[in-house]
Amino acid sequence: MRGVWGAERDGSRGERALTAAKLMLGWVALLWLLEVADVISGHALDGFGIVPRTPSELVDVVPAAFIHFGFAHVAANSVPLLVLGFLAALGGIRRFALVCALIVVADGLGVWLISPSGTNTAGASGLIFGLFGFLLVTGFVERRPLGVLAGLLVAAVWGGSILAGLAPTQSGVSWQGHLVGLVAGVTAAFVFRRRRTSSGQELIA
């Protein structure tokens, strides 16, 4: 176990909220800039999507989470990523980075393994589903009332969309990536759960 990143180490609530907001606004802005670059380049960046079970495509496991197929695609992902990412980042930027890294890598590898042959998968939706799963259960895992409340609110707002995104009947939608992302997010809630010691220090198990 490593002692890290309790709320007291991230400054005041206001400072943490401001940092989280800046981070996610910058993240979403980056996605839009990449899509602009993709359009200007004649969609050259689409090649960073993941083509399943092709060994050379393993290098695209992480970049694929930042690439989108058109402005409508990135627009659809922007608001949920901004809100869910902001809520997750309030718990500490360093833990948030670890959670996102686990989700992105696990989701990319899952897409590489189980998506249909001949497809090209990219986009931030796997991360979005992962952040949803993380926020949904982390309050229960850590036995934090505010976390439980946040998870219930997230479920109330996005639960229907999440269930729809898991349906295998939607054409052109990677339900496999959504499912793996969701599972990875729930896993991250356990892997990076925080525990408070008797001295008040917070540890990540």
3-state secondary structure the chain: CEECCCHHHHCCHHHHHHHHHHHHHHHHHHHHHHHHHHHHCCCHHHHHCECCCCHHHHHHCCHHHHCCCCHHHHHHHHHHHHHHHHHHHCCCHHHHHHHHHHHHHHHHHHHHHHCCCCCCECCCHHHHHHHHHHHHHHHHHHCCHHHHHHHHHHHHHHHHHHHHHCCCCCCCCCHHHHHHHHHHHHHHHHHCCEEECCCCCEEEC
Would the pTM count as exceeding 0.85?
yes
Contacts of 146 (CB under 8 A, 6+ apart): 139
- pLDDT in the model for residue 2: 39
pLDDT band for position 189 (50/70/90)?
Answer: very high
More confident residue, 202 or 49: 49
More confident residue, 192 or 4: 192
- pLDDT in the model for residue 44: 98
Taking the CA atoms of 94, 98, 103 and 109 in sequence, report the sign of the dihedral they define.
positive
Separation of alpha carbons 173 and 52, rounded Å:
15
Taking the CA atoms of 74, 13, 8 and 129 in sequence, report the sign of the dihedral they define.
negative
pLDDT band for position 202 (50/70/90)?
Answer: low
- 141-186 per-position pLDDT tens digit: 999 999 999 999 999 999 999 999 999 988 899 999 999 999 999 9
- pLDDT in the model for residue 205: 52
pLDDT band for position 4 (50/70/90)?
Answer: very low
Give the mean pLDDT of 54-78.
98
Mean of the per-residue pLDDT values for the chain?
Answer: 91
- pLDDT in the model for residue 3: 37
- 122-131 per-position pLDDT tens digit: 999 999 999 9
Nearest to 88 by CA among 179, 17, 158: 17
- Write out the two tokens for 190: 């356990």
Residue 67 pLDDT greater than 90, yes or no? yes
- pLDDT in the model for residue 169: 87
